[in-house]
């Protein structure tokens, strides 16, 4: 069973990737920007605030209505399609959290070796 993306799941992912380079706070310096991939359509959506401004971390509120499964009474996004994957965009390419973490770790090793 594929799980839908929720704020709780995003929080859980942040816990898993803490200190590994798979969080916005840890990879922004390498040019990564929080984004979501819709594996059904191949579309990449930059993370945005509800008002459309780019967000510095993963937020569901700025995703298009076409991927939203449930909103709260306040309008906040509570759940999006299971085909949504959190990750990062850099130089026109989508990176999963694992891929971004690998790039960050490799860059740190290269810097340490220099």
Per the confidence metrics, is the pTM higher than 0.75? Answer: yes
Cα separation, 38 vs 113, in Å, equals: 37
pLDDT exceeds 60 at position 20: yes
16 Cβ contact partners less than 8 Å away, ≥ 6 residues apart:
22
Residue 78 pLDDT grade (very low, low, confident, very high; cuts 50, 70, 90)? very high
Would the pLDDT of 9 be above 70? yes
The overall average pLDDT reported for the chain is: 95
What is the structure's pLDDT at 1? 56
DSSP 11-37: HHHHHHHTTTT-SHHHHGGGT-EEEEE
What is the model's pLDDT at position 18?
96
């Amino acid at each position: 069973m594929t799980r839908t993306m929720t704020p709780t799941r995003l929080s859980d992912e942040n816990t898993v990737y803490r200190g590994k380079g798979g969080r916005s706070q840890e990879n922004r310096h390498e040019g990564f920007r929080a984004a979501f991939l819709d594996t059904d359509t191949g579309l990449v959506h930059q993370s945005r605030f509800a008002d459309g401004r780019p967000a510095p971390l993963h937020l569901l509120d700025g995703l298009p209505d076409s991927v939203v499964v449930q909103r709260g009474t306040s309008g906040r996004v509570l759940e999006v399609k299971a085909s949504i994957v959190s990750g990062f965009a850099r130089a026109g390419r989508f990176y999963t959290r694992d891929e971004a973490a690998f790039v960050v770790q490799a860059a740190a090793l290269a810097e340490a070796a220099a």
